[in-house]
Amino acid sequence: MAASSFPVTLQFYGGAGTVTGSKMMLKTKNHQVLIDCGLFQGLKELRLKNWESLPVDFTKLDAVILTHGHLDHCGYLPVLVKNGYSGPIYATQPTRDVTEIILRDSAKLQMEDAEQANKGGYSVHHPAKPLYDENDVDITMPLFVPQDEGEWVIINEDFKFCFRKSGHMLGSAIIELKCQNRIFVFTGDLGRKKPLLMHPPAFIKKADYLIVESTYGDRLHEERSPYEQLQEVVQYTYDKGGILVIPSFAVERAQELL
Ligand SMILES: [Zn+2]
């Protein structure tokens, strides 16, 4: 893509080769935008990646655009701001609101973890520090610029974008982005064709480059309805007078289950 006729580069700093830590940089000669700014989660070797510094000068970044408010798509924002980013963070209004809850929770957990590590003396760092704290979240939130779905936003002469429904969670959006007469479509996480609580994903007519979420891309859904299977488990447990424990992601999945 870096041909002289079309000098645009796309760089992945996460969310590729693994599921979490989504960060994609689109760069032209004079401008750069970051799509999603997620935290790596899961195994320790992944979480340690959150501490590696990115080869990016955050002060030169023109904008951040978020697909949705899950931690693996927004949880690295306070690190960006802590390291000099002061530009706009574009998101839908619900994504902005969910992100605030997620970031404050994340900061709190990290502060508690650091405190525990210091008390127990089991950290290799003395003192153990959180990746970011609540103050960092305080300076991050005012950078949000909420945008309605379906409206084009001009960032500068190189980039303009529009949010489209993605059906994944409250506020989630596909980003349709125009750069030098090409259309880049970043799907973010995608919902099913008929989500229970959300509108279904929007139909995008055209893309020159499609950057698509593929977490479950190599798996086929079972023929049997999940509702039937869930009903069986609930009925079985109820008949035995038992208690059903359903582990679930807290944001969106839990609401869908309920
Ligand atoms: Zn998600």
The backbone torsions φ and ψ at residue 144, rounded to the nearest 5 degrees and listed phi first, read: -65, 135
Considering the domain boundaries, does residue 78 fall inside one?
yes
Centroid of ligand 1 to alpha carbon of 73 (angstroms): 7
Average pLDDT over residues 220-244: 93
Shared domain for 64 and 110, answered yes or no, is yes
**Does residue 85 carry a pLDDT above 90?**
yes
Shared domain for 133 and 201, answered yes or no, is yes
Q: How many domains does the chain have?
A: 2
Q: 6 falls in which pLDDT band (50, 70, 90)?
A: low
Q: Could you list the residue range(s) of the whole structural domain that residue 87 is in? A: 9-211
pTM: 0.91
pLDDT of residue 253: 87
Considering the domain boundaries, does residue 2 fall inside one?
no
Centroid of ligand 1 to alpha carbon of 195 (angstroms): 14
Considering the domain boundaries, does residue 94 fall inside one?
yes
Q: 2 falls in which pLDDT band (50, 70, 90)?
A: very low
Centroid of ligand 1 to alpha carbon of 122 (angstroms): 32
pLDDT of residue 120: 83
Centroid of ligand 1 to alpha carbon of 19 (angstroms): 10
Centroid of ligand 1 to alpha carbon of 121 (angstroms): 34
Question: Per-residue pLDDT tens for 182-229?
Answer: 999 999 999 988 888 899 999 999 999 999 988 878 888 888 988 899
- Helix/strand/coil (H/E/C) assignment for every residue in the chain: CCCCCCCCEEEEEECCCCCCCCEEEEECCCCEEEECCCCCCCCHHHHHHHHCCCCCCHHHCCEEECCCCCHHHHCCHHHHHHCCCCCCEEECHHHHHHHHHHHHHHHHHHHHHHHHHHHHCCCCCCCCCCCCCHHHHHHHHHHEEECCCCCEEECCCCEEEEEEECCCCCCCEEEEEEECCEEEEECCCCCCCCCCCCCCCCCCCCCCEEECCCCCCCCCCCCCCHHHHHHHHHHHHHHCCCCCCCCCCCCCHHHHHC
Shared domain for 243 and 153, answered yes or no, is no
CATH of the domain at 207: 3.60.15.10
Determine contact, residues 158/9, Cβ cutoff 8 Å. no
Shared domain for 191 and 241, answered yes or no, is no
Shared domain for 104 and 127, answered yes or no, is yes
Shared domain for 206 and 241, answered yes or no, is no
The backbone torsions φ and ψ at residue 169, rounded to the nearest 5 degrees and listed phi first, read: -160, 175
Question: Per-residue pLDDT tens for 138-165?
Answer: 999 999 999 999 999 999 999 999 999 9
Shared domain for 134 and 14, answered yes or no, is yes
Question: Per-residue pLDDT tens for 91-127?
Answer: 999 999 999 999 999 999 999 989 988 888 777 677 8
**Does residue 245 carry a pLDDT above 80?**
yes
Considering the domain boundaries, does residue 216 fall inside one?
no
Centroid of ligand 1 to alpha carbon of 237 (angstroms): 30
Centroid of ligand 1 to alpha carbon of 68 (angstroms): 7
Centroid of ligand 1 to alpha carbon of 209 (angstroms): 21
Determine contact, residues 38/15, Cβ cutoff 8 Å. yes
Considering the domain boundaries, does residue 218 fall inside one?
no
Centroid of ligand 1 to alpha carbon of 32 (angstroms): 24
Average pLDDT over residues 35-46: 91
Considering the domain boundaries, does residue 217 fall inside one?
no
Q: Look at the alpha carbons of 144, 146, 149, 152 in this order and tell me if their dihedral is positive or negative.
A: negative
CA distances from 126 to 12, 90, 104, 120, 130 (A): 32, 37, 24, 12, 12
Q: 3 falls in which pLDDT band (50, 70, 90)?
A: very low
Question: Per-residue pLDDT tens for 58-80?
Answer: 999 999 999 999 999 999 999 99
- CA torsion 161-162-165-169 (nearest 10°) is 60
Q: How far apart are CA 13 and CA 22, in angstroms?
A: 7
Determine contact, residues 130/158, Cβ cutoff 8 Å. no
Average pLDDT over residues 45-53: 88
pLDDT of residue 5: 55
Centroid of ligand 1 to alpha carbon of 70 (angstroms): 5
Shared domain for 77 and 183, answered yes or no, is yes
Considering the domain boundaries, does residue 54 fall inside one?
yes
Centroid of ligand 1 to alpha carbon of 212 (angstroms): 13
Shared domain for 26 and 55, answered yes or no, is yes
Considering the domain boundaries, does residue 178 fall inside one?
yes
Higher-confidence position of 179 and 17 = 179
Question: Per-residue pLDDT tens for 166-176?
Answer: 999 999 999 99
Shared domain for 230 and 128, answered yes or no, is no
Shared domain for 32 and 121, answered yes or no, is yes
Shared domain for 157 and 252, answered yes or no, is no
Centroid of ligand 1 to alpha carbon of 168 (angstroms): 7
